[in-house]
Amino acid sequence: MKVTKPAFTMLSILTTASLLAACASSPADPSPTPASTASPKADDMNKKYAVKAMTILYGNPPAASGYGIQAINERYNIDFQFNSVPSGDYNNKLATAFASGNIPDITLIEDSTQTFYNYAEAGAFLPLEDYIKDYPNLSKIPQDVLDLMTYKGHLYGIPRIRAASNWVLSIRKDWLDKLNLPMPTTYEELTNVMKAFTENDPDGNGQKDTYGMAMSYASGFISSVAAFTPTKVMPFQSWVEDGKGGILPGWAAPNGRELVKLVTDWYREGYISKDFVLMKSSQSEEDFLLGKAGIHGDFAFNAYSPERLNKARAANPDFQWDVVPPLTALDGTEGSYSLGSGFYGFNVLSAKAGSDEGKVHRLLQILDDQMNASGIVPFGDGEEGVHFTNNADGTKSYTSLGNSERPGLYLLTNPIPEGDFLINPSLPDEIKQIQKKAIDTALSGTPYKDASLGVISKTKIDKGEELSKFLLDGVVNIIVNGEPIDNYDLLIEEWKTRGADQMIQEMNESYKAKNAK
């Protein structure tokens, strides 16, 4: 049976997107978009297809041709045209691709924003709900994650599954032991530990050259989010429940005022770096690993790696780290770390690709295959001795060729985590143990998700980043300048008059409609 292809033109997409942006349609609204009526069936792999894919790039780009591309072509019998776009330019390239009508067969969308809904409404993507149940790995994707990329009853995205665990705080255990300090469990205890790390010479070199917590504003507070989430304050454009049946964003959350006051005190006392405004997350990480700071935050699933431990122990052979449990919230309630969304980005298939049922199955087979860890991980490493070498401790080291052309650099998705996250069995026992502890700690208590997932607002689309930056910059000014905490209240009022009041109203209407289903 032939795949149903939604009929559209670029003019219709852009026109519809413009109209939808004006009315901010909810994903719960009824939709005329037809679902595919195709019956999934096995692809015999005999026909060769040209496959275009666009995805986001962090780090150095892989080679444009060579072993990796050739291996992908042979594995899937395709002519693979892989476009990895640097993260800073990705949204612009994505908009250009859609505006030109040159939509790749598989495209990574970072999140389910209004822009995604607009293009789904216009018929740019192929509905997938009738397909994934027949693919062994795609069918394992949790339904609550699929719901976030479902629009008007139709599934349009295949998520890149990530761990449910999100942020944790890491701490220098050897410093705690040297100063005879207990693991902090409250913000008061955390402050006392930061004070001791700053004033009591934890590295024993007789100099006052250490401080409490490494923070970095230049990367959006990414290295310190783990210190804020237990009290339910999110520095990004994430939202939390307000305790009254609604939601509020970031620093405007109920405990935001007290947290700003606390961080202002930390800055005044020197418990965080005086340069944190200029620091990037990589620099704050270095301060932690190289013995300047005693506390640092990061994602639970990558905070503890052999590379980081080796770097730290090269600077100090006695380096030991541990995981800080979620602190009791500033209002005295139970603290918990935040949960991840369960995915990072999702791949959509173009409606044009849907004109060939065989090609649809090939594309889905590629994504399904790349979610199977036992098959795709060894394939992604390339050839031993050429792309990697096996180390005595069971880990792998990639060669220069491996870092430029191994097949894993061209994959479009990742394996489904086993349990919370796929811990590499070849890692040293010390790393596996601390990774498991980090994951278990991140999921302890009552962890919570960003309340804005699957919630939309026209004002948030139009002004969300501008409003977030205004609020974040204002908070930083209070911290750095030591302004009275009453200035926080004035900041919130001005932020609301700039459009946040309207955004909050729209987001809460969408949130309540979503939860009423």
- Which residue, chain included where needed, has tokens 């776009």? 85
Burial of 397 (0-12, 13-18, 19+ CB in 10 A): exposed
What gap in Å lies between CA 37 and CA 130, rounded to an integer? 7
pLDDT bracket for residue 222 (50, 70, 90): low
- Which of the residue ranges 114-118, 374-378, 386-390 would you say has the lowest mean pLDDT? 114-118
Q: Which residue has the higher pLDDT, 196 or 414?
A: 196
Give the integer Cα–Cα distance in Å for 509 and 517.
Answer: 13
The pLDDT confidence band at residue 421, using thresholds 50, 70 and 90, is low
3-state secondary structure of 130: coil
Q: pLDDT band at 42, cuts 50/70/90?
A: low
DSSP 3-state assignment of 510? helix
At residue 219 the predicted structure's pLDDT band, cuts being 50, 70 and 90, is low
Neighbour tally for 22: CB within 10 Å:
9
Distances (CA, A) of 428 to 172, 307, 433: 20, 11, 9
Quote the distance between the C-alpha of residue 131 and its chain's center: 26
**Residue 95: pLDDT over 50:** yes
Residue 420 has pLDDT above 80, yes or no: no
* Residue 43 pLDDT level (bands cut at 50, 70, 90): low
Percentage of the chain lying above the pLDDT 90 cut: 58
Does residue 151 have a pLDDT over 80?
yes
Q: Which domains does the chain have, with CATH numbers?
A: 10-163+342-420 (3.40.190.10), 167-338+446-453 (3.40.190.10)
Rounded Cα–Cα distance for residues 438 and 166 (Å): 10
Determine which of 332-346, 421-435, 443-457 has the lowest per-residue pLDDT on average: 421-435
- Give residue 23's pLDDT: 39
User: How sure is the predictor about 428, in pLDDT bands with cuts at 50, 70 and 90?
Assistant: confident
Residues 97, 407: Cα–Cα separation, whole Å: 25
pLDDT tens figures, 454-508: 888 889 888 888 998 899 899 999 999 999 999 999 999 999 999 999 999 999 9
Instruction: Output the pTM of the full model.
Output: 0.74
CA distance 249 to 492: 11
Q: Say what the pLDDT of residue 482 is.
A: 92
Q: Read off the pLDDT band of 202 (50, 70, 90).
A: very high
pLDDT value, residue 503: 95
Residue 392: per-residue pLDDT: 81
